[in-house]
């Protein structure tokens, strides 16, 4: 392992002390683990204070009052410990309650007597238990399962086609929505009264779950099946909107709707907008119901929710990867590696021919929120994660993106890095997939240097007005 790789490998995302400048880590999605580490540090601090004050108490002046001082010190310590930060229990209590949890708390009785189909994946969990298993344990009559990209239980890699199969844990049929069929047909929905859609999205237009959502809503409308969307947070936040709005000629499964790259909608709000704006190929409107979250606010990014990060796809193993994904995905439309086949996809970027010079590094050093490290890496095929990644087995040069903050625009920053690395790679080429991801050919003007992505006007105001009626949360 080379020194740069070794250095990045040590940056474990276990604990959030970067704000104190103690460690270069800035967040934790596990409040109990955070509590354990922080409590240990505070214990050492309190022990030091006790010893120091005990020394003072031995002074003749304070000696006769030592018992009173000691009791006051203990009481003050307990008060500070309870007030200066929330405990692990309160952190868990204050976390966002997802739509699936609200369903169980408030609406489970409405499922009685219904035949239910589930559109879910591995993110469809409450704690450590999959929603399928939870519903079955409550006696819900689940009749069929529907699998989006990556599979119902996450058994497929990115882009791997999925076939109809049987869920081995329950014996229920699993119908593929990412194979030859991407929209449930009448046979699949036969006997189904209600579809529950519970999938964690990442807030980016090209993430295929919102395309699946629209097709499922179409099928539900055509077959007069009700659909409930169990809402979950937009990890990037509800106020973050960035990137070009999709142009009609580039509509595809990775660009199904005329929305910006980062849309700032929850999956429930997206469902409402799809139905409200008529973005479905159906003469009927679906009987749609959104089971709202509790405690989520638009300004929240994922670490603010208190929820555990469950990878919504194999190449987004941590929130940092997902946060930068909307800006790094453009590498997928080129001959450069986006980091598939490495430990940190979408944060590991480059190719065998990439050669960044001092001027490039000087320019990149001006970007806020990130620390860019020279990096060499060798993509490898990883079963279920990255099959035959670009430049498999070849040593690539480029950079590693280390996030120091979430207070920046990953689309703009990603495009700046994209343009710089493309310019620094003599044999770099683009392919048509780039324009489906960008939703426009305007990205060419960034590659030529005609436009600066940092200052570019993406003209998102019309979309912001258009989405306003569908916003559930403030």
DSSP conformation class of 334: B
Q: Convert the pLDDT of each residue in 93-117 to its tens digit.
A: 589 999 999 999 999 999 999 999 9
At 49, phi and psi to the nearest 5?
-65, -40
**Lowest mean per-residue pLDDT among 157-166, 269-278, 379-388:** 157-166
pLDDT of residue 51: 59
Surface-to-core class of residue 180, CB atoms within 10 Å of its CB (0-12 exposed, 13-18 middle, 19+ buried): exposed
Is the distance from CB of 15 to CB of 34 less than 8 angstroms? Answer: yes
The correct answer on CATH 3.90.1150.140 for the domain covering 316-441 is yes
Domain boundaries for CATH 3.90.1150.140 within the chain: 316-441
pLDDT of residue 164: 84
189: left (phi over 0), alpha (psi -120 to 50) or beta: alpha
Which residue(s) pair with 401 in the sheet?
Answer: 372
Mean per-residue pLDDT for 180-201? 96
Q: Structure tokens of 378?
A: 């060798």
* Length of the chain in terms of residues written: 474
**Lowest mean per-residue pLDDT among 64-68, 235-239, 422-426:** 64-68
Mean per-residue pLDDT for 260-286? 97
Element (H, E) at 129: strand 129-130
Which residue reads 């929305």 in tokens?
259
Q: Convert the pLDDT of each residue in 77-97 to its tens digit.
A: 555 444 433 333 334 458 999
pLDDT of residue 133: 95
Q: Structure tokens of 54?
A: 């005990």
Is the distance from CB of 256 to CB of 211 less than 8 angstroms? Answer: yes
* 199 vs 182: CA distance, rounded Å: 16
Which residue reads 């505070």 in tokens?
42
* 372 vs 402: CA distance, rounded Å: 6
Helix (H, G, I), strand (E, B), or coil: what is residue 185? coil
User: How far apart, in Å, are the Cα atoms of 120 and each of 88, 125, 421?
Assistant: 29, 9, 37
Return the axis-axis angle of helices 267-276 and 209-222, rounded to nearest 10°. Answer: 50
CATH superfamily for domain 99-303+465-470: Uncharacterised protein PF07075, DUF1343 (3.40.50.12170)
Quote the percentage of the chain above a pLDDT of 90: 75
**Lowest mean per-residue pLDDT among 36-40, 173-177, 235-239, 387-391:** 36-40
Q: Which of 159, 474, 187, 189 is nearest to 340 (CA)?
A: 159
pLDDT of residue 156: 55
Q: Convert the pLDDT of each residue in 25-71 to its tens digit.
A: 343 333 333 433 444 455 555 555 655 655 655 565 555 565 666 56
pLDDT of residue 159: 55
Is the distance from CB of 220 to CB of 226 less than 8 angstroms? Answer: yes
DSSP conformation class of 98: P
Average pLDDT over all residues of the chain: 86
pLDDT of residue 35: 38
Q: Structure tokens of 366?
A: 């001006």
Domain boundaries for CATH 3.40.50.12170 within the chain: 99-303+465-470
Mean per-residue pLDDT for 286-314? 97
* 228 vs 192: CA distance, rounded Å: 13
Chain centre to alpha carbon of residue 296: 15
pLDDT of residue 87: 33
Q: Convert the pLDDT of each residue in 386-422 to its tens digit.
A: 999 999 999 999 999 999 999 999 999 999 999 999 9
pLDDT of residue 220: 98
pLDDT of residue 75: 60
* 6 vs 9: CA distance, rounded Å: 5
The pTM of the whole model exceeds 0.85:
no
423: left (phi over 0), alpha (psi -120 to 50) or beta: alpha
pLDDT of residue 73: 59
pLDDT of residue 179: 87
pLDDT of residue 228: 98
pLDDT of residue 367: 97
pLDDT of residue 282: 93
* 426 vs 93: CA distance, rounded Å: 54
Helix (H, G, I), strand (E, B), or coil: what is residue 398? strand
DSSP, residue by residue, 5-25: HHHHHT--TT---GGGTSSS-
Question: Would you place residue 163 in the very low, low, confident or very high pLDDT band (cuts 50, 70, 90)?
Answer: confident
pLDDT of residue 152: 87
Is the distance from CB of 375 to CB of 4 less than 8 angstroms? Answer: yes
Asked whether residue 194 carries a pLDDT value surpassing 90, the answer given is yes
Q: Which of 433, 412, 222, 420 is nearest to 334 (CA)?
A: 433
Asked whether residue 191 carries a pLDDT value surpassing 70, the answer given is yes
Cα torsion angle, 311, 316, 320, 324, sign = negative
Is the distance from CB of 372 to CB of 402 less than 8 angstroms? Answer: yes
pLDDT of residue 305: 98
For strands 226-230 and 288-291, give the pairing. parallel
Compute, in degrees rounded to 10, the torsion defined by CA atoms 273, 276, 277, 282. 110
Quote the percentage of the chain above a pLDDT of 70: 79
pLDDT of residue 153: 77
**Lowest mean per-residue pLDDT among 31-40, 196-205, 224-233, 336-345:** 31-40
Asked whether residue 12 carries a pLDDT value surpassing 50, the answer given is no
* 346 vs 36: CA distance, rounded Å: 31
Question: Would you place residue 76 in the very low, low, confident or very high pLDDT band (cuts 50, 70, 90)?
Answer: low
């Amino acid at each position: 392992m080379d020194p740069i790789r070794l250095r990045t490998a040590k940056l474990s995302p276990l604990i959030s002390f970067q704000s104190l400048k103690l460690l270069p880590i800035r967040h934790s999605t596990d409040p109990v683990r955070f509590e354990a580490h922080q409590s240990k540090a505070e214990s050492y601090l309190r022990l030091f204070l006790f010893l120091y004050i005990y020394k003072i108490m031995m002074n003749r002046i304070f000696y006769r009052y030592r018992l009173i001082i000691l009791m006051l010190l203990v009481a003050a310590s307990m008060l500070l410990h309870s007030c200066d930060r929330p405990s692990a229990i309160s952190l868990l209590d204050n976390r966002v309650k997802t739509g699936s949890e609200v369903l169980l708390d408030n609406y489970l009785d409405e499922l009685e007597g219904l035949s239910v189909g589930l559109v879910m994946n591995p993110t469809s969990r409450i704690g450590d238990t999959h929603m399928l298993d939870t519903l079955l344990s409550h006696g819900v009559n689940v009749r069929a399962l529907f699998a989006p990209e990556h599979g119902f239980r996450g058994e497929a890699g990115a882009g791997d086609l999925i076939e109809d199969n049987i869920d081995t844990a329950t014996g229920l049929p699993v119908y593929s929505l990412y194979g030859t069929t991407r929209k449930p047909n009448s046979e699949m929905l036969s006997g189904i009264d209600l579809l529950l859609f519970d999938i964690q999205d990442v807030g980016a237009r090209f993430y295929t779950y919102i395309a699946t959502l629209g097709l499922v809503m179409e099928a539900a409308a055509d077959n007069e099946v009700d659909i409930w969307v169990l809402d979950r947070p937009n990890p990037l936040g509800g106020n973050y909107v960035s990137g070009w709005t999709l142009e009609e000629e580039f509509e595809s499964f990775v660009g199904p709707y005329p929305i910006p790259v980062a849309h700032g909608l929850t999956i429930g709000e997206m469902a409402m907008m799809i139905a409200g704006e008529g973005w479905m190929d159906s003469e009927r409107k679906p009987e749609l119901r959104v089971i709202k979250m509790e405690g989520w606010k638009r300004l929240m990014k994922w670490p603010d929710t208190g929820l555990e990060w469950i990878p919504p796809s194999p190449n987004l193993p941590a929130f940092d990867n997902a946060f930068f994904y909307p800006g790094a995905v453009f590498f997928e439309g080129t001959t450069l590696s986006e980091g598939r086949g490495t430990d940190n996809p979408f944060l590991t970027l480059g190719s065998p021919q990439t050669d960044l010079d001092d001027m490039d590094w000087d320019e990149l050093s001006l970007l806020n929120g990130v620390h860019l490290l020279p990096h060499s890496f060798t993509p490898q095929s990883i079963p279920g994660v990255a099959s035959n990644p670009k430049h498999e087995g070849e040593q690539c040069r480029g950079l590693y993106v280390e996030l120091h903050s979430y207070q920046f625009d990953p689309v703009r920053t990603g495009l700046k890095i994209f343009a710089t690395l493309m310019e620094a790679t003599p044999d770099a080429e683009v392919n048509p997939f780039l324009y489906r991801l960008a939703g426009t050919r305007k990205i060419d003007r960034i590659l030529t240097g005609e436009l600066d992505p940092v200052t570019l006007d993406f003209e998102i105001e019309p979309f912001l007005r258009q989405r306003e009626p569908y916003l559930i949360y403030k």
